Amino acid sequence: MKYMIASDIHGSAYYCRKLIDAYKNSGAERLILLGDILYHGPRNDLPKEYAPKEVISMLNSYKDQIYNVRGNCDTEVDQMVLEFPVLSDYALFVIDGLTIYATHGHIYNKEHLLPMKKGDILLHGHTHILTAEISGDITILNPGSVSIPKGGNPPTYALLEDRNFRIMDFEGNIVKEMNLGD
């Protein structure tokens, strides 16, 4: 099964449209969102075409295909308008024999890990900086930010298929890639 992974839409209708188009064209069967869906947050500038109501409509159309974790900008009010669960601090996936802890990154991150063991994967957003690295006994993955990338990176998302994690830009280029083992 192929998964698309994205984080930090921050209410940008422009980038949400790009994400949905990429999702439809990717062949992915599920979209894993790592939080910060509707609100831009007090530390960020307004993203391009900031229109949370449009983002709500676009994402609700895929409610049966979305897994989501809560970001620091997501609230109970967001849950009232989004038709898929948005308030869980983390999710646990076992995909192709890999144990993946998905979280936004503001609570659980490289410095404050969930109870993980050797070989587990921490998948998070929050920093807006794409990452695919091994840190000690675990793998840290971050698809970057859909709408407000940092660190000189372009807007990105990731695809996970057959233990291959690819961070992609919206032009279809692979920005970073990591094989997650055999």
pLDDT of the residue at 40: 85
Cβ contact 151:129 at 8 Å: yes
| Per-residue confidence (pLDDT) for residue 41, from 0 to 100 | 79
| 1: confidence class by pLDDT, cuts 50, 70, 90 | very high
pLDDT exceeds cutoff 90 at 182: no
Segment 72-100 shows an average pLDDT of 95
Burial of 156 (0-12, 13-18, 19+ CB in 10 A): buried
pTM reported for the whole predicted model? 0.96
Query: Mean of the pLDDT values across residues 94-100?
Result: 94
Which value, in Å, is the radius of gyration of the alpha carbons in the chain? 15
Which pLDDT tens digit goes with each residue over 118-147? 999 999 999 999 999 999 899 999 999 999
DSSP the chain: --EEEE---TTBHHHHHHHHHHHHHHT-SEEEE-S--S---TTSPPPTTB-HHHHHHHHHTTGGGEEE---TT--HHHHHH-SS----SEEEEEETTEEEEEE-SSSSBTTB--S--TT-EEEE-SS---EEEEETTEEEEE---SSS--TTPPSEEEEEETTEEEEEETTS-EEEEEE---
Domain 3-179 class, CATH top level: alpha beta
